[in-house]
Amino acid sequence: MAKAIYKGYRPVSHCRCCGEASAVKLFGADLLGRKVSYFDCSTCGYVQTEEPTWLGEAYASSINASDTGIIVRNLSNVSLVLATLTLMGRRHSQVVDYGGGYGFLVRLLRDIGVDALWADPYSENLVARGFEYQGGVVSLVTAFEAFEHFVSPPDEMEKLLGIAPNILLTTNIIADPAPEPGEWWYYGLDHGQHIGFYRKRTLQYLANRFGMNLLTDGKGTHLFSSKAYSTSAWLILKKTAQWAPRLLKLSLSSKTWTDHLIIAKKVGQ
């Protein structure tokens, strides 16, 4: 394998994000009983594990046991979706929650009047049954805490853009230089599901590759959009949705009861 000078000689791998042979080994870490190498791409800034051969074990349960923030995160994401739809002027349009897990967010969004649908190839839909995405193009697709799970970010971007021209995502930005294994919880060494990490320039690379605009708070919330929007307006709307949600819910009607009638009718057939 080729060698590169980077704090001494380190192995080099192809980056799963940009495809360049410029991902230089950072360190090894203990993950699910094996020593796993991590690489940092000098071209796009993507940090990745070695080829993730352990995913079958990691996804024995789709929701890892240490994810104690699952409920509070979904509650927060309701405001984020509402703010983003308001920014786009599309509050009454459809949204697909990709990587929707057990369906918590879809149910919460429908309860405030957002026409949300569920999609997840790895999880069972428990609480939004009957509102699965069946295909077609919608206005917005969300990918909350999903990008760090992707083996090939460009391939997954293509899938997401086949659903909607706008992608709202959350994934924590990795520092530069990258922290050591014991210094950053987001590596997810206890569950092995997090296999790729992004810097702002990594997200900008993906935006440029697909001809998208990028909005980001520089921390963990990001939007790939087909049209250019104001970052400051987006951040203001995010705060408004968090602290005065009723302002952004005007004209929306809860789907809780109408959804009940739809499902009850299907069950009774």
| Tens-digit pLDDT profile for residues 232-258 | 999 999 999 888 878 888 889 999 999
Report the pLDDT averaged over residues 62-77. Answer: 79
How does pLDDT run across 155-211, given as a tens digit for each residue? 999 999 999 999 999 999 999 999 999 999 999 999 999 999 999 999 999 999 999
Q: Do 92 and 49 reside in the same domain of the chain?
A: no
Judged against a pLDDT cut of 80, whether residue 4 lies above it is answered with no
- Residue 56's identity, in one-letter code, is G
Q: What is the mean pLDDT of the chain?
A: 92
End of a domain among 15, 35, 58? 58
The verdict on residue 63 lying in a domain is no
Looking at the structure of the chain, the number of domains it has is: 2
8 A C-beta contact, residue 97 and residue 132: no
Same domain, 256 and 144: yes
Domain range holding 30? 3-58
Same domain (yes/no): 92, 212: yes
- Shared-domain flag, residues 148 and 48: no
Task: CATH number of the domain at 142, please.
Answer: 3.40.50
User: What was the pLDDT predicted at 3?
Assistant: 36
* Residue at 41 is within a domain: yes
184 part of a folded domain: yes
In a domain, 21, yes or no: yes
Residue 244 confidence (pLDDT): 83
Residues 6+ apart with CB under 8 A from 226: 165, 166, 212, 213
Would 64 be classed as within a structural domain? no
Q: Are residues 25 and 144 in the same domain?
A: no
What burial letters (b/e) apply to 113-127, b meaning 16+ CB within 10 Å? Answer: bbbbbbbbeebebee
Helix 200-209 crosses helix 153-161 at what angle (to 10 degrees)? 50
> Is there a single domain that holds both residue 108 and residue 225?
yes
Residues 142 and 214 placed together within one structural domain of the fold: yes
Co-location of 40 and 113 in the same domain: no
Residue 98 pairs with which residues in a beta bridge? 119
Instruction: Give residue 267's pLDDT.
Output: 80
Query: Residue 25 belongs to a domain with what CATH number?
Result: 2.20.25
Measured between alpha carbons, how far is 144 from 212 in angstroms, rounded to an integer? 18
Residues 105 and 174 grouped into a single domain = yes
Is residue 109 domain-shared with residue 211, that is, in the same domain? yes
Kindly state whether residues 120 and 39 are assigned to the same domain.
no
Q: What tokens appear for 160 in the block?
A: 């997401």
Instruction: For residue 210, tell me if it sits in a domain.
Output: yes
Q: Is residue 51 part of a domain?
A: yes
Contacts of 39 (CB under 8 A, 6+ apart): 12, 13, 15, 23, 24, 25, 26, 47, 48, 49, 50
Confirm whether 47 is domain-assigned. Answer: yes
* Residues contacting 53, CB < 8 A, separation 6+: none
The token pair at 151 is: 């083996």
Query: Both 102 and 125 in a single domain?
Result: yes
